[in-house]
Amino acid sequence: YQMPGSNALDLQQRVKDKMQELSARFPKGVSYAMHYDTTRFVSASMHDVLVTLGEALVLVVAVVFIFLQSWRTTIIPTIAIPVSLVATLVVMYMFGFSLNMLSLLGMVLAIGLVVDDAIVVVENVERQLEAGLKPLAATRAAMAEVTGPIIATT
């Protein structure tokens, strides 16, 4: 039986390997068959979530570009997405969390938050630039204005 926290795909492979090893000692004419394999469903579900993640990335980039109408402002949220996903995976690994359906779904949903925060920052920096500030000063002023609200809403 699979224990909580164990990897179903790894467990299935270990069972197959062990059965292959044991079947060498079976009497002649005796064989085994695995009639129920849950890993097919797990693999299909993981594939579906990863496809959804990819589709979300493409759609987010397209929608951000359509509404902001600038590649320059689209690049920042586009870069923020993989950076945040990689950082999430690193933190999950460091704390021993498994990559399962719920964590992948959470990552897909978090893309929206990351993009929203990035757009708020980019638009505020652009507003500061239009007010005549230099890029570094505009960035500092923009972040001073929106850091608190971004943290509160995230």
Question: Interhelix angle for 8-23 vs 39-68, to 10°?
Answer: 150
**Which amino acid, 23?**
S
Dihedral angle sign, alpha carbons of residues 65, 68, 70, 75: negative
Cβ count within 10 A of residue 46: 16
20 token code pair: 């292959």
What is the spatial distance between Cα 33 and Cα 12, in angstroms, rounded to a whole number? 13
pLDDT of residue 139: 93
pLDDT of residue 9: 78
pLDDT of residue 148: 92
pLDDT of residue 5: 67
What is the spatial distance between Cα 29 and Cα 84, in angstroms, rounded to a whole number? 56
Q: What is the mean pLDDT of each run of 10 residues along the chain (154 residues)?
A: 71 87 89 82 82 84 85 84 90 86 82 86 91 94 93 84
pLDDT of residue 1: 62
Q: Look at the block and give the residue holding tokens 């570009």.
A: 65
108 token code pair: 């897909």
pLDDT of residue 2: 65
